[in-house]
Amino acid sequence: MIMDNDRLLEKIDELENYLRELEEYLPEQEEDYLNNGLRKRACERTFQLASENLIDICNLIISEKGFGIPSESKDSIRKLAENQVITASLSTRLEEFVGFRNLLVHQYGRVDDSRSYSFLNMELKDFYEFIEIIDRYIENQN
């Protein structure tokens, strides 16, 4: 089955834009993050959008390659690992993103802003690793 590379590349471009925005919004000092509600919410929302975009990319590949129907967002990521599109290690880390996104969106509990800041600072590299892998995957499909 031929993948809709244009649609995938468009989603990757959106994801890269969200990551640039997040890097712009995220202050270097944790205190600046903690004391600026507007900036904090902008970072959280941009992370949410980036995470949802990542899931959309997973679902596009799953649908076009016939990898089955994911039962939930984390399952979308797992299906890419099961089909050797991404590594199991990256899958585990990206599943944590979805868990954090769910915490932000659904407010399952009080969000620890200090932990959020650390998470946002440390985990952006995983988004970029995902993009690199998907770019190579698209190239190899041609």
pLDDT recorded at residue 2: 57
Can you tell me the distance from the alpha carbon of 142 to that of 134, in angstroms, rounded to the nearest whole number? 13
Tell the CATH topology of 5-141: Four Helix Bundle (Hemerythrin (Met), subunit A) (1.20.120)
pLDDT recorded at residue 99: 82
Other Cβ atoms within 10 Å of 115 Cβ, number: 11
Angstrom distances, CA of residue 26 to CA of 19, 55, 62, 88: 10, 22, 32, 28
Can you tell me the distance from the alpha carbon of 88 to that of 91, in angstroms, rounded to the nearest whole number? 5
With 60 as the cut, is the pLDDT of residue 109 above it?
no
Mean local confidence (pLDDT), 108-135: 86
Of all residues in the chain, what percent carry a pLDDT higher than 70? 94
pLDDT recorded at residue 70: 94
pLDDT recorded at residue 3: 64
With 70 as the cut, is the pLDDT of residue 1 above it?
no
Can you tell me the distance from the alpha carbon of 103 to that of 90, in angstroms, rounded to the nearest whole number? 20
For 47-102, write each residue's pLDDT tens digit.
999 999 999 999 999 999 999 999 999 999 999 999 999 999 999 999 988 888 87
Can you tell me the distance from the alpha carbon of 138 to that of 128, in angstroms, rounded to the nearest whole number? 15
Domain residue extents for the chain = 5-141
Sign of the torsion formed by the C-alpha atoms of 50, 23, 94 and 110: negative
With 90 as the cut, is the pLDDT of residue 114 above it?
no
Can you tell me the distance from the alpha carbon of 74 to that of 112, in angstroms, rounded to the nearest whole number? 22
Q: What is the mean pLDDT of the chain?
A: 90
Cβ density class 83-95: b for 16+ within 10 Å, e for less:
eebbeeebbebbb
Q: Of 127, 136, 142, 141, which is closest to residue 14 (Cα–Cα)?
A: 127
